[in-house]
Amino acid sequence: MKEKEQILKLRKELSQHNHSYYVLDKPTITDFEFDIKLKQLQVLEINYPQLFDSSSPTQRVGGEVTKNFETIVHTQRMYSLDNSYSKEDLMDWEVRLRKMVDGPIEFTCELKYDGASISLTYENGLLVQALTRGDGTQGDNVTANIKTIKSVPLKLRGNYPSKFEIRGEIVLPFVGFRALNEEKIAAGEEPYKNPRNTASGSLKLQDSTEVARRPLECLLYSIVGENTGIKTQFDNLEKARSWGFKVPSVAKISNSIDDVLEFVNYWDVHRHELPYETDGIVVKVNSLFQQAELGFTAKAPRWAMAYKFKSEQVSTRLENISYQVGRTGAITPVAILKPVELAGTIVKRASLHNADQIEKLDVRTGDWVYVEKGGEIIPKIMGVDLSRRVQDSDKSFYINSCPECKSTLVRKDGEAQHYCPNDMGCLPQIIGRIQHYISRKALDIEGLGGETVALLVNEGLIRDYADLYELTTDQIIHLDRMASKSADNLVNGVQASKQVSFERVLFGLGIRYVGETVAKKLAKHYKSIQALSEATLEDLETVDEIGIKIAESVVTFFKNEINIRIVSRLMLYGVQLELSKEVLLNQTAKLQGQRFVISGIFEIVSRNELKELIDSNGGKVVSSISAKTSFIVAGLNMGPSKRSKADSLKVPIITEQQFLDML
């Protein structure tokens, strides 16, 4: 068929021109010639719809409208990075690394681009899914919008794995940002504040045609997947580039922290010559084998560190100090500032942290203060310009009573924060607890957001999270901005939350110090809310990684009659307050009390599967060998120093198969 050959030929040509222009920055034809060929292809595809191909260059113009972005769980969590701000931080990090891995350590240094994180999934060389970072555990499906970004390959080239994920940043170059703002100003509209927020907001636009109009780019830097054949982070970058991805050319292998700092110091000066926003350097252990050995903490990979450039600092006037009440009753002083531009955004407020910080800074209403963004995100006051202080200014004194309910504040010995003790009667605490209960990592109730929670509380319809399960459509349909469909969605979302797993419900209860990771440990150990509620301080302290503060908090929570009544109601409504039968069937105590170090490359199961097997059978995975280590599960390429240490401590070394035989 002549037309089919013509379509295939045009697709191949246009894809190559796209790659040359948007990835290699080396255009091979004029824009006019490209547009003519694209229109020819569009006409042919309209006339021969049976030859449709989702990876055709014509699919980049947009047209799909997405009203609700589906939330999807990441197959592998998207972690944030630990930050460092000095040579000492990096050196301390290196010392920790050398204690945990064998042999010399190489580092890959890359620029940290300030954009919106994205994870792309490819199957058989075709883009099948694009997810935002979200909360790191799950993100929004923005595939239709991502397909409009011309530096994102819809179809790969070369020798690639059959399935893998690749992660990077969606950025808006300065040139494109200025062009967009010129259009906004010409139309008499408010210009965008900064490239990063504009790029992030673009991903959630409902009309992909509008996304296609924005000159977004996608910079990739991390391949995720099993059996990729890649051994180092630097090879990661080279491979991704060969498959057609736009990979930043600025990257360097370093053999020492001094060499890393040379890279940092150079780019701290020259970053202003780059076409994109950057806010630091990312330093990674180059060997993927060593990365696997190092693993992750609850929040970040141990094998990577972000070195942040010195924050921009501005001076502005402190107009007032207000106080906010959090869901736990913690009082946070907030500086109300004369609006000032800082790092591309208008700053009006900054945290003052606690009473000690106010005392240390001796900050007073009317002072001119120095403000910077901590980690380029949260504004904070760094100091006071005493030369501009008004004579006879009044010293700031921390408040004695809650700004909301007027209860006398308390401050426990050894704690920096003041608290409002009226946890059941203070409105912000009530609202905050329910907002936490419905949050993404907890019950994640569809159709119910933070503002709606505040509205329901203020209207007197709910006072705790158990009240949610009694809400009816008739009760809420009259509320502001609540149509019939949204009322139904809210009620249905609450009912659907009864299927959420026990560990997430436990996290949602908002017990002080019981975060996501601790909730999982407690759920796994006690298996039901009933057993947990009966646990003593001594019992709780025997649980792995549960200290006295957490134990006291759990006991205090379940001594409170109001909490007991709320939990009893949740149980009555059918909320999951014990581990499911499926989870229990997969759990044993065969490895109870045993500590395992995993080292090497494995062939039967993956490293992550090994960790899950140890965890689900009552054992604990530890990162370094000590006299308390029960076994080392050794794969191929186990380091000689680990073997030597195991021998000296007489720690048994077992193979992957021997471990599996134990189960």
Strand positions, DSSP E, 326-454: 330-342, 345-351, 368-374, 378-384, 418-419
Domain boundary at 278, 308, 338, which?
308
At 637, is the pLDDT very low, low, confident or very high (cuts 50, 70, 90)? confident
35 in a structural domain: yes
Domain boundary at 14, 30, 61, which?
61
pLDDT tens sequence across 180-215:
888 888 877 778 877 888 898 888 888 888 888 899
- Residue 65 in this model has a pLDDT that exceeds 60: no
List all residues 6 or more positions away from 650 whose beta carbon is below 8 Å from its beta carbon.
none
Average model confidence (pLDDT) for the chain? 86
Residue 286 DSSP class: S
Query: Do 293 and 70 touch, CB atoms closer than 8 A?
Result: no
- With tokens 């794969």, the residue in question is 635
Higher pLDDT, 346 or 402: 402
- Residue 617 in this model has a pLDDT that exceeds 60: yes
CA-CA-CA-CA torsion for 554, 559, 563, 566, nearest 10 degrees?
110
Judge if 296 and 151 occupy the same domain: yes
Would you say the pTM of this structure is higher than 0.75? no
Judge if 231 and 201 occupy the same domain: yes
Instruction: Check 4, 9, 26, 112 and give the catalytic one.
Output: 112
Higher pLDDT, 22 or 136: 136
Domain boundary at 256, 280, 308, which?
308
State the total domains in the chain. 6
400 in a structural domain: no
Judge if 224 and 280 occupy the same domain: yes
- The mean per-residue pLDDT over the stretch 285-292 comes to 91
Among the listed ranges 214-228, 404-418, 583-597, which one has the minimum average pLDDT value?
583-597
Higher pLDDT, 102 or 155: 155
Model pLDDT, residue 219: 95
Token pair recorded at residue 507: 């996290």
pLDDT tens sequence across 125-141:
999 999 999 888 889 99
Query: Do 653 and 646 touch, CB atoms closer than 8 A?
Result: yes
Among the listed ranges 9-13, 596-600, 651-655, 659-663, which one has the minimum average pLDDT value?
9-13
Judge if 549 and 442 occupy the same domain: no
Model pLDDT, residue 565: 95
C-alpha–C-alpha distance, residues 159 and 243, integer Å: 7
Judge if 143 and 279 occupy the same domain: yes
At 25, is the pLDDT very low, low, confident or very high (cuts 50, 70, 90)? low
Phi–psi pair at 179, nearest 5 degrees: -65, -40
- Residue 60 in this model has a pLDDT that exceeds 70: no
Token pair recorded at residue 99: 């204690």
3-state secondary structure 593-645: CCEEEEECECCCCCHHHHHHHHHHCCCEECCCCCCCCCEEEECECCCHHHHHH
- Residue 325 in this model has a pLDDT that exceeds 90: yes
- The mean per-residue pLDDT over the stretch 416-445 comes to 92
Model pLDDT, residue 32: 66
- With tokens 């007991």, the residue in question is 564
Instruction: Indicate which CATH number applies to the domain containing 603.
Output: 3.40.50.10190
- Residue 384 in this model has a pLDDT that exceeds 70: yes
Model pLDDT, residue 643: 84
Instruction: Indicate which CATH number applies to the domain containing 574.
Output: 1.10.150.20
Judge if 87 and 115 occupy the same domain: yes
66 in a structural domain: no
- Residue 279 in this model has a pLDDT that exceeds 90: no
- Residue 63 in this model has a pLDDT that exceeds 60: no
Higher pLDDT, 121 or 620: 121
Instruction: Indicate which CATH number applies to the domain containing 136.
Output: 3.30.470.30
pLDDT tens sequence across 410-425:
998 878 889 999 988 9
Higher pLDDT, 622 or 271: 271
Judge if 347 and 283 occupy the same domain: no
- Residue 605 in this model has a pLDDT that exceeds 50: yes
Instruction: Indicate which CATH number applies to the domain containing 370.
Output: 2.40.50.140
Query: Do 151 and 172 touch, CB atoms closer than 8 A?
Result: no
Higher pLDDT, 65 or 328: 328
At 30, is the pLDDT very low, low, confident or very high (cuts 50, 70, 90)? confident
3-state secondary structure 7-20: HHHHHHHHHHHHHH
422 in a structural domain: no
At 310, is the pLDDT very low, low, confident or very high (cuts 50, 70, 90)? confident
- The mean per-residue pLDDT over the stretch 41-58 comes to 69
C-alpha–C-alpha distance, residues 46 and 44, integer Å: 5
Among the listed ranges 8-17, 67-76, 571-580, which one has the minimum average pLDDT value?
8-17
**Is the Cα dihedral 172, 174, 176, 177 positive or negative?**
positive
At 64, is the pLDDT very low, low, confident or very high (cuts 50, 70, 90)? low
Judge if 302 and 326 occupy the same domain: no
- Residue 393 in this model has a pLDDT that exceeds 80: yes
73 in a structural domain: no
409 in a structural domain: no
- Residue 367 in this model has a pLDDT that exceeds 80: yes
Among the listed ranges 2-6, 103-107, 534-538, which one has the minimum average pLDDT value?
2-6
Among the listed ranges 4-8, 93-97, 227-231, 400-404, which one has the minimum average pLDDT value?
4-8
At 376, is the pLDDT very low, low, confident or very high (cuts 50, 70, 90)? very low
Token pair recorded at residue 291: 């990365």
- Domain of 649, in residue numbers: 595-662
398 in a structural domain: no
Judge if 507 and 548 occupy the same domain: yes
Token pair recorded at residue 409: 């504040």
117 in a structural domain: yes
Residue of 398, 252, 373 whose CA lies nearest to 310: 373
pLDDT tens sequence across 248-260:
989 999 999 999 9
At 23, is the pLDDT very low, low, confident or very high (cuts 50, 70, 90)? low
Q: Is beta strand 595-599 parallel, antiparallel or unpaired with respect to 620-621?
A: parallel
- The mean per-residue pLDDT over the stretch 593-616 comes to 83
Q: Is beta strand 304-308 parallel, antiparallel or unpaired with respect to 83-84?
A: parallel
Among the listed ranges 44-48, 68-72, 106-110, 163-167, which one has the minimum average pLDDT value?
44-48
Judge if 554 and 629 occupy the same domain: no
Residue 184 annotated as catalytic:
no
Judge if 95 and 29 occupy the same domain: no
Residue of 271, 291, 296, 292 whose CA lies nearest to 281: 271
Judge if 506 and 472 occupy the same domain: no
Instruction: Indicate which CATH number applies to the domain containing 34.
Output: 1.10.287.610
Model pLDDT, residue 286: 96
- The mean per-residue pLDDT over the stretch 145-152 comes to 91
